[in-house]
């Protein structure tokens, strides 16, 4: 949710009973200060891409001085930052994509672990939410029973929340569904493209990172919508090493991003696009998801059990 989850979105989620996170992403000091200002007095957290934060470690101190409700670290080793975060009493959230990541998060003293499946929009690995979450839950039950577990990846409604609880999670972390809300810093054209799409319309690819000249670790790919620019270059990524090509295609990518051209830039939504059919207020999404899950767990789930008696 880098640069899509700003202060207004985070504050709206918190006001509705969740915990909103500002997407600190690759790190921009002025932007981070602005977004915490936009959040006002709401208790919100902030997430960082860990390998990028390592290049600008002062940004962590900047955010910690703003008294965030939590710090979330994703896509890199949390250990180098954990002591600084713990020293301030700030809860540490670690997003993980493998069991090795989960063990590293436990070693770093994570208060909350987010098990992210490959269904998620944006960057990730290959494990699926349905199998990763219960495996991490079993591991935490053995070695860190006080650590909370959240499920992420492909969760956009009450069914996903209810299912995650049954898998052993304590809650969920949701990206794509909030990406398509009124408060998100996302072009309406991109949101409308997702509303019109099915989950089949997304793809895992390294093309957006090549076009932006971002040096992501090789193991991580991005899930975005399959559109014209992605289709042009997926499978031809090696050609983007040519400086003349990358200059032309990178300019195409960034111009489309600024102009709301959903065919020629990265549209960062996950497989949950198939369950996104509107662009409501974020608070309405929180209440809708919780209400649906409560209904399913209170009414439908007992019905399954009783039907077998």
Report the C-alpha gap between 72 and 93 in whole angstroms. 4
* Domain membership of residue 55 as a residue range: 7-185+282-307
Answer yes or no: do 213 and 86 share one domain. Answer: no
pLDDT at residue 27 in the model:
87
Number of domains the chain contains: 2
Answer yes or no: do 172 and 258 share one domain. Answer: no
Average pLDDT over residues 64-83: 96
CB 287 within 8 A of CB 16: yes
pLDDT at residue 302 in the model:
82
Answer yes or no: do 254 and 302 share one domain. Answer: no
Answer yes or no: do 74 and 132 share one domain. Answer: yes
- Whether 276 maps to a domain, the answer reads no
Q: What is the CATH number of the domain that holds 76?
A: 3.20.20.70
Contact residues for 218 (Cβ-Cβ < 8 A; gap 6+): none
pLDDT confidence band for 309 (50 / 70 / 90)? low
Average pLDDT over residues 103-115: 98
Strand positions, DSSP E, 92-144: 92-96, 112-116, 122-124
- Residues 301, 302, 305: CA angle, nearest 5 degrees: 95
For residue 169, give the H/E element and its range.
none
Average pLDDT over residues 27-47: 96
Answer yes or no: do 244 and 95 share one domain. Answer: no
Nearest CA to 113 out of 131, 93, 99, 97 is that of 93
**Which tokens go with 41?**
């007095």
Mean pLDDT, the chain, whole residue set: 96
Contact residues for 224 (Cβ-Cβ < 8 A; gap 6+): 121, 122, 202, 203, 205, 208, 230, 266, 267, 268, 269
Answer yes or no: do 129 and 243 share one domain. Answer: no
Least confident stretch, 26-30, 65-69, 172-176, 258-262: 26-30
Answer yes or no: do 254 and 132 share one domain. Answer: no
Answer yes or no: do 291 and 174 share one domain. Answer: yes
Contact residues for 27 (Cβ-Cβ < 8 A; gap 6+): 48, 49, 52, 53, 55, 56, 59
pLDDT confidence band for 114 (50 / 70 / 90)? very high
Answer yes or no: do 267 and 213 share one domain. Answer: yes
Answer yes or no: do 107 and 207 share one domain. Answer: no
pLDDT at residue 266 in the model:
97
pLDDT at residue 74 in the model:
96
pLDDT at residue 308 in the model:
61
Average pLDDT over residues 190-213: 96
Tens digits of residue pLDDT in 227-275: 999 999 999 999 999 999 999 999 999 999 999 999 999 999 999 999 9
First-residue to last-residue Cα distance in the chain: 45
Answer yes or no: do 60 and 178 share one domain. Answer: yes
Answer yes or no: do 53 and 13 share one domain. Answer: yes
- Whether 38 maps to a domain, the answer reads yes
- Whether 73 maps to a domain, the answer reads yes
């Amino acid at each position: 949710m880098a640069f899509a989850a700003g202060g207004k979105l985070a504050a709206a989620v918190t006001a509705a009973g969740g915990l909103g996170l500002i997407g600190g992403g690759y790190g921009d000091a002025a932007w981070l200060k602005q977004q915490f200002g936009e959040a006002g007095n709401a208790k919100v957290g902030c997430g960082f891409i860990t390998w990028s934060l390592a290049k600008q470690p002062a940004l962590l101190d900047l955010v910690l001085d703003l008294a965030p409700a939590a710090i979330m670290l994703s896509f890199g080793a949390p250990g180098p930052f954990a002591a600084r975060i713990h020293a301030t009493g700030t809860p540490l959230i670690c997003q993980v994509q493998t069991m090795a990541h989960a063990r590293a998060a436990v070693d770093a003293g994570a208060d909350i672990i987010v098990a992210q499946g490959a269904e998620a929009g944006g960057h990730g690995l290959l494990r699926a939410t349905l199998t990763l979450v219960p495996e991490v839950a079993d591991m935490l039950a053995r070695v860190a029973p006080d650590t909370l577990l959240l499920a992420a990846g492909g969760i956009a409604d009450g069914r996903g929340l209810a299912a995650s609880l049954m898998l052993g999670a304590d809650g969920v972390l949701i990206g794509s569904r909030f990406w398509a809300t009124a408060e998100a810093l996302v072009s309406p054209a991109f949101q409308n493209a997702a509303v019109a799409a099915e989950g089949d319309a997304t793809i895992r690819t390294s093309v957006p990172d090549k076009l932006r000249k971002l040096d992501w670790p090789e193991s991580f790919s991005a899930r975005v919508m399959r559109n014209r620019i992605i289709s042009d270059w997926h499978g031809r990524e090696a050609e983007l090493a040519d400086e003349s090509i990358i200059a032309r295609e990178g300019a195409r990518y960034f111009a489309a991003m600024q102009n709301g051209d959903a065919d020629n830039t990265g549209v960062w939504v996950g497989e949950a696009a198939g369950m996104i059919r509107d662009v409501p207020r974020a608070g309405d999404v929180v209440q809708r998801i919780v209400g649906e899950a409560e209904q399913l767990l209170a009414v439908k789930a007992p019905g399954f059990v009783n039907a077998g008696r």
